[in-house]
Amino acid sequence: MTERSEPRRRGRPRGVTAGDTRARILEAATAEFGEHGYEAASVRAIARRAGVDPALVHHYFDGKQALVAEVVEVPLRPDRLVREALDAPLEELGERLVRAVLGAWDSGPVRPAAVAALRSAIGQGPVARMLREFLRREIMQRIASALGGADDAELRAELAASQLVGVIMVRYVLEFEPVASVDVDELVRRVAPAVQWHLTGRPAALDSEVRPAHDSAHDE
């Protein structure tokens, strides 16, 4: 008689603690993202590298997005911020995005790690590549998809993001005054109309506050 091989156990290997398994998954995710980038890396490949069932990866982490946040050690989920902002009507999207981003970055526990992650994203190497792919897939493409099928939706989303990244760099990384210490509500009031204009092409707030010079001349 031939011995029947014992079927492969699903889940965590016997004798391994939850903390060990979580650490192995994170180590595997770091290696997988580093070798293949965010787009190409899959939960199944991460599980295979960690020697666990894919269901166990989902047990500890809410998909690839959560794994990225853990790998770069940032207590912030930008994909969730954007998802919540996108629940608003389109004409409020600019204000919701600016307020959500600035509100998150103004949090004491978030800022140091977020600044480090941003510096990594604009650098070189596998971590930078992973972060750029993550931001493009989970932020830019989500915003573009919300713009009602506009032909230039990706351009609109990236220009809007450029406004936000610029404010983040000046306020939190370079810490230039007075932007570094101005009230968040004031920043939202000034920046949100520009972001909204890039998103929808309807700069109503700007039009109501700043009239073209030639209009003033006609009034005289």
| Cβ atoms of residues 18 and 3 within 8 Å | no
Ordered by where they begin, the domains of the chain are 18-71 (1.10.10.60), 78-209 (1.10.357.10)
pLDDT one-digit tens code per residue, 117-138: 777 677 666 667 777 777 787 7
What is the reported pTM? 0.61
Three-point CA angle 169, 172, 174, nearest 5°? 60
Provide the token pair at 108.
């004491």
pLDDT the model gives residue 213: 47
At residue 60, the pLDDT reads 87
Predicted confidence (pLDDT) per residue in 72-104, tens digit: 666 667 777 788 888 888 889 999 999 988 888
Distance CA 162, CA 103 (A): 18
> Angle 158-164-168 (CA atoms, 0-180°, nearest 5)?
135
Distances (CA, A) of 62 to 54, 70, 108, 178, 182: 12, 11, 24, 38, 35
Q: What are phi and psi of 54, to 5 degrees?
A: -55, -30
pLDDT at 196 over 50: yes
Ranking 6-10, 31-35, 125-129, 202-206 by mean pLDDT, the lowest is 6-10
